[in-house]
Amino acid sequence: MESIVFWGFNFYAWITIVTVLTMFTVLLFTKLRADLVFLGAISILFVTGVLNAKEAFSGFSSTSVVIIGVLFVVVAGLTHTGVLQWIVKHLLGQPKTYSKAVIRLMLPVAALSSFLSNTTVVALFVGIVKMWAKKLNVSPSKLLIPLSYASGMGGVCTLIGTPPNLIISGLYAEHTGSAMNVLATTIPGLFCLFIGVLSIIAMRQLLPDRQAPEAAFESTSDYTVELLVPSDNPHIGQTVAEAGLKEVRGGSLIEILHFDDITTPVPDDDLIMGGDRLVFAGQIDEILDLKKSHGLVNADHHVFTMSEVDTNRQLRTAYVTFGSVLINKKIGGSTFEKDNNMILVAVARRGMRINESPHEVVLQAGDTLLFECSPNVKIETEQLTSQLQFFDSAQVPNIGKKTFISTTIMIAMVVLSALNVIPLLQCAFLAAMAMIIFRCCNVDQAMKAINWEILMVFAGSVVLGVAIQKTGIAERLAFGILDVCGTNPIVVMTAICLVGTFITEFISNTAAGAMFFPIMYQAAEKLGYEPYPFLIALMVSVSSSFATPIGSPTHMLVYGPGGYRFSDFMRIGLLMNFIILAANILIVNIIYPLTPLNP
């Protein structure tokens, strides 16, 4: 079969080409799961004899794929200990101009994305940026594309920041026997980010000024929160306005229940008394901050001093399940809190703001409840799970000692691998173990955090790369590009990166990385140059998909909330593709000058 050659490709090469093209057509035009499509493609390549068993399953034992899997656990530790929420809260601030807002948004997002999954970071920021945009009186569509772009550009800054970097560096290590430094892409990545931020500011007119479709229901994620005033509170005797409790950051006081259950509609001159239950509506994390700033507490009974409150208690969020016995009941009128050793702090309902104390709310299926409970409380009991579905909410912060521990683990992992003290794979395993040992996340959360679908796609991409190389497609394409572009290494580098940038608009950037690796590697070798700088440029370009919403999962995350149209990405993204490509080629050739291969 290998001897049958048509247009320079043998039979196996044609099978590979047809399989890859079919796979992308299926991915583009159907809603089939990506992992199944990749698995199907691998099966075809294996059954038809293009790949042997070892090659067909090489993706699953690939170091880079294993690292990606282990990093899911590390990220789970960071997420569950509130690191992301802390950063979001402290970094955005109140910038006065659009340019400053873009900088305040893009830099932290890029910094986070350089260590965490881009999708995780963007998913966390989307809701917050929408609220932030409202505060700044800027349309969310002016900030959500920059958010998604920043995560992509930030991801490039480290090898662990984005899967294509791991895949390309992993393949490079397999080919040459020497590993790339975890910070190999940092300077090129930062330079491109710098150029990217400036470009966004300069081209802001190209970003649409559009209201998100659900803008009318902006307050749907508002929680109604009840906080108690202990008898030793310093604000007792002040009016709500004097105490700064009427209009608070992220919300407002909607009701006061005094000790004698007199509810007031909260005039500015109402006095704060010990025993008052203050009912706020708004952004949950900002309102819960009042516990620290104003000495308020969550409790199901009156407290005389702050010291009576157990500070180790944790916040848990839950949905009222369909068929729950809590439906049409009030938590206030039941023994639920005592029976389960948890206190209802807040309630949220999609589609409306609740204007009464959480304890007085007649619950409906789908209501989100926020409880404060002991860290040891068992939420998996049969009785509880029949009433409530507990989940981890990104909006609810649990910032404490563990926030510091998980951050230290993450930094230690990056530093140790960057300094080559311990290889990245071992570092990632140690960090994941540390996250579990120090209880930054539990085993359940760690297992749930591993996205098997994404892992399968990554493994599949590696296998496709092997097929493309083995069947000589990579070599032929490399020669083809050399024929068109001549022998100037920078022209060849630019040409492959340009094709990579546009291909990655339509396929996963990991797949693009895996497939373009052999082409770029072969081209560099054929020209007689060390492939390292070529591959660094490739890493940047396959992550630079700005022109279509399907170019990156993070674009899809902002597509709906921003109220975007397909063409919105095209208008600014096409220019961004060319700008970042130019910046990429320039900086890579400065930082990693081309060196001829030793003969």
Partner 1 sequence: MNIEIKEQNGTYVGLLSGWLDTNEASQFMEDIKVLEENIDKSIVLDCKDLEYLCSLALRGLLKLKKLSATKGGRLVLKNVNGEVQKILTMTGFIKLFDIE
302 binds partner 1 (CB under 8 A): yes
Does 304 participate in binding partner 1 (rule CB under 8 A)?
yes
- Of residues 127-146, which lie at the interface with partner 1 (CB under 8 A)? none
Instruction: Tell me: does residue 491 bind partner 1 (CB under 8 A).
Output: no
Token pair listed for 559? 């597509």
| Closer to partner 1 by Cβ: residue 260 or 483 | 260
Closer residue to partner 1 in complex, CB, 242/530: 242
The two structure tokens encoding residue 138: 């800027």
**In 209-260, which residue ranges form alpha helices assigned H by DSSP?**
none
| Subset of residues 233 to 252 that bind partner 1, contact rule: CB under 8 A | 233, 236-237
Q: Select from 214-222, 229-237, 424-432, 553-561 the region that touches partner 1 (CB under 8 A).
A: 229-237
Contact between 526 and partner 1 by CB under 8 A: the answer reads: no
Per-residue x/- marks for partner 1, 12-51, CB under 8 A?
----------------------------------------
Tell me: does residue 499 bind partner 1 (CB under 8 A).
no
CB of 254 to partner 1, least distance (A): 18
Rounded to whole angstroms, the Cα distance separating 585 from 580 reads: 9
- Residue 5 is inside which H or E element, if any? strand 5-6
> How far apart are CB 281 and partner 1 at their closest, in Å?
22
Q: Hey, which residues between 396 and 455 contact partner 1 (CB under 8 A)?
A: none
Indicate the residue among 100 and 258 with the shorter CB distance to partner 1.
258
Contact range with partner 1 by CB under 8 A, out of 158-166, 225-233, 367-375, 508-516: 225-233
**Alpha-carbon distance 185 to 159, whole Å?**
7
Q: Are 149 and 108 in contact (CB under 8 A)?
A: no
- Indicate the burial class of 124 (C-beta count within 10 angstroms; 0-12, 13-18, 19 or more): buried
* Phi, psi for residue 251 in degrees, rounded to 5: 180, -165
Residue with smaller CB distance to partner 1, 269 or 382: 269
Q: Minimum Å distance from CB 235 to partner 1?
A: 9
User: Residue 277 forms beta bridges with which residues?
Assistant: 228, 257
- Which residues, in sequence order, are bridge partners of residue 596? 529
**Closest approach of Cβ 251 to partner 1, in Å?**
24
* Residue 264 C-beta: closest distance to partner 1, Å: 9
Q: Which is nearer to partner 1, 270 or 367 (CB)?
A: 270
271 binds partner 1 (CB under 8 A): yes
Which residue, 257 or 537, has its beta carbon nearer to partner 1?
A: 257
Backbone angles phi, psi at 141, to 5 degrees: -65, -20
Could you tell me the sign of the dihedral formed by the alpha carbons of 350, 356, 359, 363, in that order? negative
Region from 166-174, 196-204, 253-261, 332-340 binding partner 1, contact rule CB under 8 A: 253-261
**Which residue, 259 or 452, is less far from partner 1 as judged by CB?**
259
* Strand, helix or coil for residue 254: strand
Q: What crossing angle do the helices spanning 509-527 and 489-503 adopt, rounded to 10°?
A: 170
What are the φ/ψ torsions at residue 499 (nearest 5 degrees)? -65, -45
What are the percentages of helix, strand and coil residues in the chain, rounded to 5?
55, 10, 35
Pairwise CA distance, residues 233 & 407, whole Å: 33
The number of beta carbons lying within 10 Å of the beta carbon of residue 157 is: 26
What are all long-range contacts of 289-295, with beta carbons under 8 Å and residues at least 24 apart? 289/249, 290/227, 290/245, 290/248, 291/227, 294/233, 294/235, 294/243, 294/244, 294/245, 295/230, 295/232, 295/233, 295/234, 295/235
Report which of 159, 161, 156, 163 is spatially closest to residue 182, judged by C-alpha positions: 159
Residue 273 lies near partner 1 (rule: CB under 8 A):
yes
β-sheet bridge partners, residue 226: 279
CB of 245 to partner 1, least distance (A): 15
Select the span of 265-273, 314-322, 396-404, 421-429 touching partner 1 (CB under 8 A): 265-273
- Span of 16-24, 228-236, 463-471, 591-599 interacting with partner 1 by CB under 8 A: 228-236
Least distance in Å: CB of 244 to partner 1?
Answer: 18
Specify the residue, 263 or 314, whose C-beta has the smaller distance to partner 1: 263
The residue (of 237 and 375) whose beta carbon lies closer to partner 1 is 237
Q: Does residue 270 bind partner 1 (CB under 8 A)?
A: yes
- Which amino acid would we find at residue 20? V
Residue 281, both tokens: 């509506």
Pattern of binders to partner 1 over 365-394, x per CB under 8 A? ------------------------------
255 binds partner 1 (CB under 8 A): no
CA 166 vs. chain centroid, Å, equals: 17
> Rounded distance, CA 529 to CA 239, Å?
75
Q: Does 566 bind partner 1 (CB under 8 A)?
A: no
Among the candidate windows 131-139, 143-151, 207-215, 254-262, which touches partner 1 by CB under 8 A? 254-262
| Cβ-based nearer residue to partner 1, 260 or 380 | 260
- Select the span of 16-24, 230-238, 246-254, 448-456 touching partner 1 (CB under 8 A): 230-238
Q: What are phi and psi of 219, to 5 degrees?
A: -85, 10
Residue 228 CB, nearest distance to partner 1 (Å)? 11
CB nearer partner 1, residue 304 or residue 566: 304
Is 307 an interacting residue with respect to partner 1 (CB under 8 A)?
no
β strands within 41-168, DSSP E: none
Bridge partner list, 184: none
Instruction: Quote the Cα angle for 282-288-293, to 5°.
Output: 115
Q: If binding means CB under 8 A, how many residues of this protein chain bind partner 1?
A: 18
Q: Contact region for partner 1 (CB under 8 A) — 119-127, 273-281, 400-408, 413-421?
A: 273-281
Considering only 259, 391, 404, 566, the residue that binds partner 1 (CB under 8 A) is 259
- Strand 251-257 relative to strand 247-248, pairing: antiparallel
34, 508 contact by CB (below 8 A): yes
Distance CA 58, CA 217 (A): 49
Between residues 290 and 369, which has the closer beta carbon with respect to partner 1?
290
* Contacting positions for partner 1 (CB under 8 A): 229-233, 236-237, 258-260, 262, 270-271, 273-275, 302, 304
